[in-house]
């Protein structure tokens, strides 16, 4: 029985080797099927060949550059014409370029211009006091810069100057800067809203009015956001045909004191008007407290100007908005004097953030 099985195994091994065309020295022995009675004998007779007797597989050659290129072209051009492939490649490149460009623009540091205060020399003054000075108050610059933006004081321009005439216009500043802040300072001259001053000390600064009115209109025309503070709020109203109370105490007898010797320590309650945009920046509140450093205020509203906030005790206008622009707002108080988290005064950071957000959205 075992002799016959051995002969049969040899014949089947020879047939397999011949059929595959592989040398018998490299052929793995194929065990024949055995009956149940012979399973133990077959198992005992099974021989495990050394590893060297396994069938050797030829090595797979490494893919070369031509093979990669061929695979890429086949995958990319499958089912489409060469022209369509070109359009896809060019479109992808353009999208990548536009995304890089947009990222560069949106991450660029904002550049905010601030109008200059003007010091006019008095007769007989000497030294620096004998010169016309244009300057920026530190607190307003630091308030705007707290949001990591660059601040530039915008000087008045005089193309007819006898010393060094220039071709630079205020329009050039409006074109290259992202927004404008009109800082506080001297009274607005009554001549700027077609009136005469009732007292010499209320004559205001007509020279500064002309400079800031031009600057204001250039930024609005350029669709750039604008924030007017104190005097800047009043000038915004005048720019569109409105008028002012030259002195609140004499023209509005029932008004509270909006200015005194305490300067920025003087304050009063503030109430946002219904549906005002400023009210939406703050959580619901009946009133807020702001400083009060002004003896003039808005009397008649200019064209397309709406009231955003008032002093509830005397209805004096405390904030306005120009309705035909994305962000052109005037605040009668000084937000730069409100120290965040250190007083009972309104935290005006949301107003600054809204102004800067508009600057980012309109600078493209």
- Where in the sequence numbering do the catalytic residues fall? 230, 334, 336
Alpha-carbon distance 297 to 258, whole Å?
10
CA dihedral 22, 28, 34, 39 (to 10 degrees): 170
Which tokens in the block code for residue 311? 């002093």
Beta-carbon contacts of 132 under 8 Å, excluding residues fewer than 6 positions away, are 118, 119, 120, 121
**Residue 189 near residue 89, CB atoms below 8 Å:** no
Return left, alpha or beta for 21; rule: phi > 0 is left, psi -120 to 50 is alpha, else beta.
left
H helix count then E strand count, the chain: 10, 13
Alpha-carbon distance 326 to 357, whole Å?
11
Burial of 127 (0-12, 13-18, 19+ CB in 10 A): exposed
Concatenated DSSP letters for 158-175? Answer: -TT-SSS-----HHHHHH
Alpha-carbon distance 229 to 336, whole Å?
9
Return left, alpha or beta for 101; rule: phi > 0 is left, psi -120 to 50 is alpha, else beta.
alpha
Alpha-carbon distance 346 to 335, whole Å?
8
Euclidean distance between the first and the last CA atom of the chain, given in angstroms as a whole number: 97
Of 304, 189, 207, the C-alpha closest to 243 is 189
β-pairing verdict for 150-154 and 111-115:
parallel
Beta-carbon contacts of 12 under 8 Å, excluding residues fewer than 6 positions away, are 30, 32
């Amino acid at each position: 029985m075992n002799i016959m099985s051995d002969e049969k195994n040899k014949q089947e091994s020879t047939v397999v080797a011949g059929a595959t065309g592989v040398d018998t020295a490299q052929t793995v022995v194929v065990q024949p099927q055995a009956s149940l009675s012979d399973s133990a004998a077959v198992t005992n007779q099974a021989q495990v060949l050394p590893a060297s007797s396994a069938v050797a597989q030829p090595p797979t050659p490494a893919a070369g550059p031509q093979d990669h290129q061929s695979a890429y072209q086949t995958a990319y051009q499958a089912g489409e014409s060469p022209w369509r492939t070109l359009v896809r490649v060019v479109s992808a490149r353009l999208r990548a370029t536009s995304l890089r460009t947009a990222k560069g623009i949106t991450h660029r540091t904002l550049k905010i211009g601030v109008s200059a205060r003007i010091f006019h020399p008095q007769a007989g003054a000497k030294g620096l006091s004998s010169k016309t000075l244009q300057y920026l108050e530190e607190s307003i610059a630091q308030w705007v810069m707290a949001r990591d933006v660059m601040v530039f004081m915008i000087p008045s321009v005089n193309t007819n100057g006898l010393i060094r005439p220039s071709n630079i216009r205020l329009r050039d500043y409006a074109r290259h800067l992202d927004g404008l802040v009109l800082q506080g300072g001297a009274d607005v001259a009554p001549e700027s809203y077609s009136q005469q001053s009732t007292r010499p000390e209320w004559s205001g600064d007509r020279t500064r009015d002309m400079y800031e009115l031009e600057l204001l209109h250039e930024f609005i025309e350029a669709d750039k956001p604008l924030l007017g503070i104190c005097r800047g709020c009043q000038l915004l109203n005048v720019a569109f045909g409105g008028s002012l109370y030259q002195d609140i105490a004499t023209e509005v007898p029932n008004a509270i004191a909006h200015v005194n010797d305490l300067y920025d320590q003087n304050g009063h309650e503030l109430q946002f008007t219904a549906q005002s945009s400023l009210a939406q920046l703050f959580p619901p509140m009946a009133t807020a407290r702001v400083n009060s450093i002004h003896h003039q205020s808005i009397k008649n509203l200019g064209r397309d100007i709406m009231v955003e906030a008032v002093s509830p005790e005397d209805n004096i206008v405390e904030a306005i908005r120009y309705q035909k622009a994305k962000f052109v707002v005037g605040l009668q108080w000084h937000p730069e004097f409100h120290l965040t988290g250190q007083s009972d005064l309104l935290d005006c950071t949301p107003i600054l953030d809204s102004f800067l957000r508009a600057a980012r959205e309109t600078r493209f």
